[in-house]
Amino acid sequence: MSQPLSDEALDQIFREARTFTTWQDRPVSDELLHQLYDLMKWAPTSANSSPARIVFVRSPEAKERLRPALAPGNVDKTMAAPVTAIIAWDERFYDQLPRLFPAVPTMREVFANSPELAESGAFRNSSLQGAYFILAARSLGLDCGPMSGFDNAKVDEEFFPAPATQPAEEFVMGRFRSNFLVNLGYGDPAGLYPRGPRLEFDEVCQVL
């Protein structure tokens, strides 16, 4: 049975966690990236659809490929981050539903027959998975700098080029569409601004 997390854990994940724009010169290992994904993958999505796809941009060469798509104010922080994750979604995520959601054998066709439903579901659930990604990273001691200041079309063209043919049942990056970016690593507190306020319960919530 679930038990409340300690105040220390809640502080690390929520209350004292910050969005970082400056970074320590500390690498993020492949092992840690695997641990991060292996945590986030268990969080819920509609029909267990799991549409998110992630590209970890880490090498200097890959960072240079990303540079032209970044808004000017996001260039330096992204180039300095040990890793930048492209949180994307697979337009044909529903091809995996016979495996991921076998309880309803017709679920694949529900999305396959409705492009609008598929797109809205993929965007919504990949956004959820991106949020889980941030919480999983923080729980592993990493800091995050999520961003939407970039050109999605340029990222998609550079990192998710469409091949000449796209077999329906294969893992094809040309079907992926970028959602948002997350810089990842160990933040440098010297670069933090004063923390912004948050809205209070009574300003945003109702109990009916």
Q: Where are the domains of the chain?
A: 23-187
Mean pLDDT of 53-57: 97
d(CA 139, CA 9): 8
Distance of CA 81 to the CA centre of its chain: 16
Mean pLDDT of 115-126: 98
| Contact by Cβ (8 Å): 36, 137 | yes
Distance of CA 163 to the CA centre of its chain: 24
To the nearest 10°, the Cα dihedral for 132, 58, 76, 39? 10
**Strand, helix or coil at 52?**
strand
Q: What is the pLDDT of residue 91?
A: 95
pLDDT at 171 over 80: no
In CATH terms, is domain 23-187 a member of 3.40.109.10? yes
d(CA 134, CA 117): 26
pLDDT at 60 over 70: yes
